[in-house]
Amino acid sequence: MKKVVLFGAGLVSPPLIRYLLDGGFHLTVASLPGSGARKLVDSHPNARVLPLDVNDRDALREQVAAADVAVSLLPAPFHPLVARACIDSGVHLVTTSYVSPEMRALDAEARDKDVLLLNEMGVDPGIDHMSAMKVIHGEQEKGSKLVGFSSWCGGLPAPEANDNPFGYKVSWSPRAVLLAARSSARYLLDGQIVDVPPEKLFTDPAVVEIPDIGTLEGYPNRDSVSYLDTYGFDNGQVRNMFRGTLRNQGHCQLRTQHSQLGLFDDATEHDLTGTTSKALMETLFGAPLEDT
């Protein structure tokens, strides 16, 4: 029986846990104590839960070495720690996150040791890449001349569960959701690179009509230009390259207002002991709020 070690038991882990256990794999879920991992495996005979802090390099390497494949669903900054242990142990790694500079720096050594560091295997990034390549390869087989590419992807709450002003619910790392709101973006339009600074990310959303869904809005998704090579495009021929994120209408306006109010600032720390949400907002805004 193949052994898989999964690092992290957050919001995105339950479907993978079910998939692996239903597939007959032996699964070790390694996560911080109190993460709820034990409830996720539900006493399955082929699963075990192990309290683990990945900053403990020896404990991390021990669990990686005992597995055939490692999966990291930890917050992205921790992936290089797991990747380092995988390279040292000769074990392949899968993550759902974008390839960071730290992860990219490990590529040559991983290749030398025949270790696969397979990143961007989630929904976005991940399934969007698969669907993109299916379309691209299909057109190439027809002999089409590819001069532009545009794709949209987004995780949205079901209509019956769309019950908050954001039109959105957190299904992955809450901190990463907020950090993504501070990302810059880049895409190719009519042969020219367009750079979007973080403070402008949500200010001019596109209106996107989706069949059988309705009207949504979208904004640029990080660096689309870097995928020209990844998708195998002829850079001199392609004049438009855009990857976008979909959200329900009104989401981008709220995000813009939150950014302007400084709600995405992580440079200032606040003592929240005994503090109400209203009091915190008054501190951030520098003005009293009226009771409603």
Cα–Cα dist 85/78, whole Å: 12
Tokens standing for 284?
């951030």
Q: What are phi and psi of 122, to 5 degrees?
A: -105, -145
Catalytic residue among 58, 112, 124, 163: 124
Residue-by-residue DSSP string for 18-48: HHHHHTT-EEEEEE-TTSSHHHHHTT-TTEE
**Is residue 58 among the annotated active site residues?**
no
Spatial CA neighbour of 96 closest among 177, 197, 13, 25: 13
CA count, 13 A, side-chain hemisphere, 16: 24
What amino acid is encoded at 84 in this protein?
A: R
Cα–Cα dist 219/242, whole Å: 10
Mind telling me the catalytic residues?
A: 124
